[in-house]
Amino acid sequence: MSTGSLRTRVAVVSLSLLAVVLVVVVSVVTLAYRSSLESDLRHRLETAARAVQQARSASAVKPLTQGLSLEGIATSIEGPQPLPAGKAGAGTTAPVKTGSSIHARGSLLVLDETLRDGTRVSFSASAASVSRSVDRLLLVEVLVALGAFALAALIVIRATTTALRPLTQVAETASRIAGGDRMQRLRPTRADTELGRMAAAFDRMVDALEAAVDRAQEHDAATRRFLADASHELRTPIAALQASAETLLREQPKRPHRDRLEAAVARDAARLGRLVDDLLGLARLEARTAFASVDLGMVIRSAAADARRAVPETEIALDLDDDLTVAGDRDSLGRLLRNLLDNALAATRPGGHVAIDLRRRGGHADARVTDDGPGIPAAERDRVFERFVRLDRTTPGSGLGLSIARRIAREHGGDLTCDPSPSGGSFTLRLPLAQAGGIGVTW
C-alpha cells in the first residue's frame, strides 16, 4: 500500500481546489467588472446620441457639448455637405441618411451620429479608464486571494492535524501493544463513524490476536505436559520390557520362570503398543478432515459388534432411535464409541452388562453408555478425561481413551460427559444433528 503522508495529501488536494476556485472567482469577477464598465461607457455614448437626435441641427447640438465634456465625452461636429458644382440644385445639401454607428478607434470608443440636416456629430470616450479600473480591481483581488489562500493553508494544516489525530493514536496504541502492553485498546466513543468503525475493528483484531496468543500458549503448555506425561508413561513399559528381555538373554531361566518372563514381555509389549496407538490417535486429531453425513446408529452398531467379538462373555445391549444423522468423520466417531466401550468393558466383571441408548433430544443426538462396574466417584468425573489418568491401575490401558473421546466429541461441535449414576459408570455423548446444507465443512 502507498505510505505517503496523508496529511500532505489532504493539504495539497484541499489547497489545490481552493487555488482553482480563487482563480475562477477572480477571473469571473474581473471579466464581469470589465463588461460592466464597457457597457456603462456605451450607454453614456448612446445617451449622448439620443440627446443630439432630439436637437436635429448643428446649432442646437453645440450647447450640449459642454455638459457632455463634463462626463468625459468629447464631441466633434461637421456641418452638412453641399452638392458639388455643376449638379442640379448646386449649393444645396446632399441627400441625408440619418443613423448612428459605434466603433473603436485606438483606445477610444467612438459613436458617429448623422442628423437630418446632414450634420455629423462624433462622440468619443477613452477606454483607458476602463482598463485602469480593471487593473486596480485585479490587483485588489490578487492581494485578497493571496491572503485568503495563506489563511486557508494555515486552517487546512491545523484542521488536518486535528482530524488525523485519531490515526496517530492508533499508531501509538499499536506501538504500546507491540511493546508488551496487551491491555491497550482504542475504545471509540462512537462506532457509527468511519474512524469509530476503524477503531472498533482494531480493538476486535487485537482481542482476536490476544485470544490466539493465549490459545497458542495454552497449547504450548499442554504440548509440554503431554510430552512429559508421554515420556513418563512410555518409560515404564519400556523399562519393564527391557528388564524382562535382558533377564531372558542373560540368565536363560528355566521354566516356569521363563514362561512368566515371556508373558511379561508380551504384556508390556501389548501395553506399549496400545499406548503408542493412543498417542498416534491423539496426534491424528490435529489433522483436519471433511465432514460427511454419518448415521450415528450404524457407527454404534459397528463398534458394539467389534466389542462383542473381543469380549463375548459381556452382554452389550442396544436401544437406538433410527435415522439420527450427524455431520462428522465416520472413523473418528467410530474410535470415540470404541473408546467408550473399551472403558465400559474394562470396568465390568466377567459376565457383566453394558448398555447403549441413542435418543433424539431436540436438535441433538444423545448416546448414553452405561455399565455395571464399580462406578466413578463424583470428585473424579472430570478428572477421568485428563490425559494419562487411570483410576484403576490394575486394568490395562494408557489413560488416553476418554481424553481422545472427549476431544473428538468437541471437534464435532458436541461434548462427552460423565454422569452421576447410582451404580456403575455412565457417559453421555451429545452431538448436533446434521442440518440441510451443513455437510462438507472442515474441522
Beta bridge mates, 361: 364
CA distances from 118 to 81, 88, 142, 306 (A): 7, 18, 50, 136
pLDDT digits (tens, 9 = 90+) for 152-197: 889 988 888 887 777 778 888 888 888 878 788 888 887 788 778 8
> CB-based contacts of 98: which residues, under 8 Å, 6+ apart?
114, 115, 116
Question: In this structure, are residues 340 and 301 in contact, taking their beta carbons and an 8 Å threshold?
Answer: no
How far is the C-alpha of 267 from the C-alpha of 262, rounded, in Å?
9
Question: In this structure, are residues 30 and 138 in contact, taking their beta carbons and an 8 Å threshold?
Answer: yes
- Between helix 58-70 and helix 6-55 the angle, nearest 10°, is 150
432 φ/ψ angles, rounded to the nearest 5 degrees: -70, 140
70 is written with which cell numbers?
463634463
Q: What is the pLDDT of residue 304?
A: 93
Q: What is the pLDDT of residue 88?
A: 47
Chain centre to alpha carbon of residue 107: 68
How far is the C-alpha of 369 from the C-alpha of 426, rounded, in Å?
6
Q: Count CA atoms within 13 Å of residue 290 on its CB side.
A: 4
Does 90 have pLDDT greater than 50? no
Q: What is the pLDDT of residue 82?
A: 53
Confidence band for 258, pLDDT divided at 50, 70 and 90? confident
CA distances from 282 to 185, 278, 401, 413, 430 (A): 38, 6, 9, 17, 20
Q: What is the overall mean pLDDT for the chain?
A: 79
Amino acid sitting at position 31:
L
CATH fold for the domain made of 288-443: Heat Shock Protein 90 (3.30.565)
Exposed / middle / buried, residue 315 (Cβ in 10 Å: 0-12, 13-18, 19+): middle
Question: In this structure, are residues 86 and 80 in contact, taking their beta carbons and an 8 Å threshold?
Answer: no
- Domain-by-domain residue ranges, the chain? 6-82+96-161, 288-443
How far is the C-alpha of 191 from the C-alpha of 204, rounded, in Å?
12
Q: What is the pLDDT of residue 355?
A: 94
